[in-house]
A = this chain, B = another copy of it.
Amino acid sequence: MAVTRATAQQSIVRDALQAHDGFRSAQDVFADLRAAGHRIGLSTVYRHLQSFAAQGIADVIHDGDGEATYRYCGESHVGEHHHHLVCRHCGRAEEVEGGPVERWAAQTARRFGYVELDHTVELFGVCGNCRSYLPS
């Protein structure tokens, strides 16, 4: 399942992800690459995005429509846990520390007797940049 060999397709998928600082869907990435004239298959894009996510070098969130979106988060902090503040207008995302949330989650789980805790925390808003473009 994990892609291990260094191939041209792996590179261009990684590059396409890195080229944006927001979350992008597999379909988006595929469309971009094709538009840029690259020969690549949709299956391959899915494979690599999922592989990146599994390795921890990309983060995944599911948008409201259930479409999975990916964001390149660098090899640097693999394994570190963080959350995102995502602009619902331009897709740009900030990495944020979740200290207080982690503590609250652990506490809550303990109170109810739950173990093997995991959680999803995503913040959505409109960034300062997009605010000016938007009405009201």
Contact = CB atoms under 8 A, between A and B. Distances in A.
A58 to B, nearest CB: 16
A93 to B, nearest CB: 10
A122 interface: yes
Given A109-B123, A120-B120, A120-B121, A115 B131 contact: yes
A112 interface: yes
**Chain multiplicity (copies):** 2
Nearest to A127: B114
Interface in A62-82: 62, 66-68
Interface in A23-65: 62
A8 interface: no
Contacts of A100: 100-101, 103-104
A68 B121 CA distance: 17
17 contacts: A62-B62, A66-B67, A66-B68, A85-B114, A87-B114, A94-B112, A96-B108, A98-B104, A105-B123, A109-B123, A113-B131, A114-B125, A116-B126, A117-B124, A118-B124, A118-B125, A119-B122
Interface of A: 62, 66-68, 85, 87-88, 94, 96, 98, 100-101, 103-105, 108-109, 112-128, 131
